[in-house]
Each structure stands twice: as structure tokens, then as C-alpha cells.
Amino acid sequence: MPPKKKVDALPSTMKELKDTLWKAADKLRGSMDASQYKDVILGLVFLKYVSDAFDERREQIHAELAGEGMDEDQIAQLIDDVDEYTGRGVFWVPASARWVYLAENAKGLPAIGGEPAKSIGQLVDEAMDALMTANPSLAATLPRLYNRDNVDQRRLGELLDLFNSARFTGEGAKKARDLLGEVYEYFLEKFARAEGKRGGEFYTPAGVVRVLVEVLEPTSGRVYDPCCGSGGMFVQTEKFLEAHHKEGSDISVYGQELNERTWRMAKMNLAIHGLNGNLASRWGDTFARDQHPDMQADYIMANPPFNIKDWARSESDPRWKYGVPPANNANYAWIQHIISKLAPGGSAGVVMANGSMSSNSGGEGEIRAQLVEADLVSCMVALPTQLFRSTGIPVCTWFFANDKGVGARGSVDRTGQVLFIDARHLGHMIDRAERALSDEDIAKIANTYHVWRGTASAGHSGLKYDDEPGFCYSASLAEIKAADYSLTPGRYVGTAEAQDDGEPIEDKIARLNKELFEQFEESERLAKVVREQLGRMQ
């Protein structure tokens, strides 16, 4: 009997686990295109999640029944009660879809009797079918492409082995959800980076999403995203609720997504994070067919595709209350659609290309003027460059509110005012191509808004809002009108006050001149040394 292959030590940290899984998954890429490869890997993560959560719930049921004095025969008769699983938010997993069964047959099933042999890819496809049949909410969601010619069956089996060695449960189903949710989000980010521009179709950087969430503070009610991608806005909302010791059941999630594959990713992402979201029965174009026509949202968060030139435009659309958007740019169509979905007292945060703040082409200037005069704009934030690896277009965030008066959303009456924040200097480079916002950066933006608005969260700080030159300014509608309704923060916040270092300006100029000429002399000396060395080599 050959010796057993030595198994490497399991990763000891979450970072090591994610990196290990990613490297293993990357070996499976083979001849698949990026989008198909993404479906293969994310489908496996989801399958692992539902199976682990199912196994854990099964162990809990067994312990509960044993604690009631039942023997194994009695437990066996009751442990497969589907309601005991689905009633706790756990998917029912048929035996052929459970991870332990797939892991035991990671090399496939040999032909037995009259049954033909099955590859591991075929077994995974059948597991996906069984899951969707047993759980109607997953219908048309899970990928079925594991038995195709371009999927390396040997490496697929090895990947299952690796996933099998990493158990994601531990401290209750919530812990399992957190761990696998982290892996799913990590993979989404890695895929977005790998796909470049196309990655932006399904992934918004977490820092940008958090700016929207931390400013809006969605704690209860209906949360909507009309172009939801892979569901990042909803996931960050759930994390916000958890951080503030609130239940995910306090919110209702509504979303729509145009791309079929992305819609499937979002459905899986929400399920992994325990969110019961209404993403409609299928994917679809928000402009051509709004799949939540009567829904009014308390919070809307969105990162629409920038500057779409080809979109389903109808001049008679009732959503164009403030003016018909131009045919060659959908930016103001997205903005007006979002405003049309806001409930009384509702608020929204939208990521837009910077051009939206000042463009006058195609009637956009007139629409922006109408939005300002309707007192719908509450805050404008100019963000740093290079936050999106998928595009070099600089971005901003628009915040809207149906009511800026004193009430549940704020104790300071800001009717007739707009807060401008210039955050372009914030963030740090994580590599040559991408910038990220730190927790402190996000808090600075959000806290400035909350102090300005007088929200409950700002009340604990005891701070009073003051304009900060170079960073924030509260402008009246009259000032914005005088600026021809431009909403670019830099136009209002001015420049930061120069810090006085105590050195007289004449002395500083003299010192800097002296340092500059010393550098010139040093440069000439080094050039002479280099020429001498080169001369000796000839």
C-alpha cells in the first residue's frame, strides 16, 4: 500500500486561508474565460457554505433531541424534518448535494452495475440541480458548468479536497456565515481586479460603499439598489447593522440587475450573508422594465454604470419629473429614477462620474438646477482618484433627502442648504494603480455630515458644525444658483489655511534658495565622479 501523501498544515489565519483558497482556485482557470471561471469558483464557495450550515444545524437538532431523551432510532425519524432547517434560515441540502458526499467522491464515481461512471464535475452539477429543486428561492441561481470540457476534473477534485479541509463553521451558524461571506467577498474583489474594466460591472470597492452606508445609516425599512451588481451595498448594510447591534431582519432588501451572471452572484452573496432580498424573479433593465414599480424605499444606495450612451430612453417616462435626460448619457436618468423611488423622508447616496456635478450638455444643467431648487440635494462629496481599478474616471457621491428639516433623520434644520465635502486628498495608495480609503477617512466624511445634520450618532460627539476651509462648506441655494448650479465641492470649500510654521517668509525663501543651490553643486560633483569612472573603464 503506497504511503499517504503528506498534507500541508492548514492555514492558521483568515488571510492565509483566503490566500490559500485563491491560489488553489486559480489553478482551475485553464481554458475558461474570466466570467465563466468566476462562476465556477463562487458556485463552489456557495455550495460549501450551504452544506456546512446544514451540517451544523443537523448537529444542533441531534443534540436537542438527544437532550429530550430520545434514542438514535427516534432521532433518525425526526432529524430530516425540512422545516427544522428552513425555519432557521438554513437551506435544505439533499444527501447528493452535501459536501461530505462530494468530497468522498472527489475523483468521480466508477461505473457500478448498470450505472455509468460519473466525473466529479457531473456530481457537482447534479448537486446544484438538487439544491435548486429543494429550495425554490435558489431557482435559476446556481451555476451548472462543472462537467464541461474546459473544466479540469482532476484540479476540480483537488480544489474540493482543499475546501473540505477548511471547515467554516465553529461558533454557530453566524460564525460560519461570516467566514464564508468573507471568502466570497475576497474572491469577488480578486475577480474584479483580474477582469479590470469589466470587473466594475459587478464590484464597487468596499471603501466607496462604506461611505454611502456610513453617511445614510440604514437601520430599518426598505433598502434599494437599482443596479445592484453582486449585492455589495446590501452586504455592507448588514455589516453596519451588526456593528450597531441591530438585526438584519430590521431591513427589507430590494434590488435589480441587468446582467444575468451578476444577478446570480448577487443572489448567492445575499444568501451567504443571511439576507432575504427581493432581487426580482429574473435579471432585467431598470429603465426598460422597473421590476419594483410600486416600491418606495427608505434608503437607496447605488453605483450606476457611468456615462451610458445606449440606454432605454422614453421621453414620456413619468420618472423624468425634472427634465428629460439626454439620449447619449444616462447619468441623470439614474438620478431621477432613484429620486422617484424615494419614500417620504427617504434618503439616497449615489456614486457618479465627476462630470455629473457640472455638465451642461443635453439639458443636464437644467435638470441639475431643478434638483437643487427642489431642495433634494443634501450633500456632495468629491472622492479621491484611483479608487476604482476598473476606471480612471474621477468619481463623486451625491446624497439626496426628501426632507432636510428637523426630524428623525436630523435635529438641525438644513432646508435650503447643501453640504459640500472635498475629500480628494484622503486615501492612501495600496499599489501603483489603486487607492483605498481608511476607516479614519470614511469616519471623517460621515461624521462631518452627521454633525452638519445633527443626527443621533453625532450627538454623542458634542461637536458643532463649522465650515473647514479646503474640506467642507455649507452653501445656501442662493450661493449655488450664483455659481450657475455647479455642484463641484472645490468651488465652495476654498483652500485650506496654510499652517504657520513660525519662520518669516524672507528667511524661508533664503533658506530654500541656499538648499537648492547646494543640491545643484552636489549634482555637478556626482556627475564629475561618474564621468571619471567611465573614463577609467575605456
CATH number for the domain including 142?
A: 1.20.1260.30
CATH number for the domain including 236?
A: 3.40.50.150
**Residues 464, 357 share a domain:** yes
How many C-beta atoms surround the C-beta of residue 439 within 10 A? 10
Per-residue pLDDT of the chain (538 residues), as tens digits, is: 444 444 444 445 677 778 877 887 777 877 777 777 888 888 998 998 899 889 989 999 999 999 999 999 999 999 999 999 998 889 999 999 999 999 999 999 888 877 888 999 999 999 999 999 999 989 889 999 999 988 889 989 988 888 887 655 545 445 655 677 788 888 888 887 777 655 556 688 889 999 999 999 999 999 999 999 989 999 999 999 988 888 777 899 999 999 998 899 899 989 888 888 899 989 999 999 999 999 999 999 999 999 999 999 999 999 999 999 999 999 999 999 999 999 999 999 999 999 999 999 999 999 999 999 999 999 999 999 989 877 778 899 999 999 999 987 899 999 999 999 999 999 999 888 889 999 999 999 999 999 999 998 887 666 889 999 999 999 999 999 999 999 999 999 998 765 556 677 787 788 888 888 888 888 888 888 778 777 777 6
Residue 56, in any domain of the structure: yes
**Residues 293, 230 share a domain:** yes
Final residue before a domain boundary, out of 151, 171, 191: 171
Domain that holds residue 86: 14-171
**Residues 245, 167 share a domain:** no
The C-alpha atoms of residue 530 and residue 527 are separated, in whole angstroms, by: 5
Residue 153, in any domain of the structure: yes
The C-alpha atoms of residue 270 and residue 279 are separated, in whole angstroms, by: 10
**Residues 487, 357 share a domain:** yes
The C-alpha atoms of residue 3 and residue 488 are separated, in whole angstroms, by: 69
Handedness of CA 54, 59, 62, 63 (dihedral sign): negative
Q: Are the CB atoms for 275 and 238 separated by under 8 Å?
A: yes
**Residues 156, 66 share a domain:** yes
The C-alpha atoms of residue 286 and residue 118 are separated, in whole angstroms, by: 42
Could you give the number of structural domains in the chain?
2
Residue 9, in any domain of the structure: no
Give the 3-state secondary structure of residue 145: coil
**Residues 435, 298 share a domain:** yes
The C-alpha atoms of residue 242 and residue 235 are separated, in whole angstroms, by: 11
Beta bridge partners of 475: 418
Give the 3-state secondary structure of residue 405: coil
Residue 310, in any domain of the structure: yes
Angle at 504 between CA 501 and CA 505, to 5 degrees: 100
> 469-478 burial by CB neighbour count: b if 16+ within 10 A, else e?
eebbbbbebe
**Residues 135, 240 share a domain:** no
**Residues 215, 80 share a domain:** no
Residue 320, in any domain of the structure: yes
**Residues 277, 165 share a domain:** no
Cα dist from 359 to 365, 372, 400, 479, 518, whole Å: 6, 14, 18, 18, 48
**Residues 237, 356 share a domain:** yes
Q: Are the CB atoms for 268 and 296 separated by under 8 Å?
A: no
**Residues 132, 208 share a domain:** no
Residue 510, in any domain of the structure: no
**Residues 383, 470 share a domain:** yes
- The answer to pTM > 0.75 is yes
Residue 535, in any domain of the structure: no
Phi and psi angles of residue 384, each rounded to the nearest 5 degrees, phi first: -65, 160
Residue 119, in any domain of the structure: yes
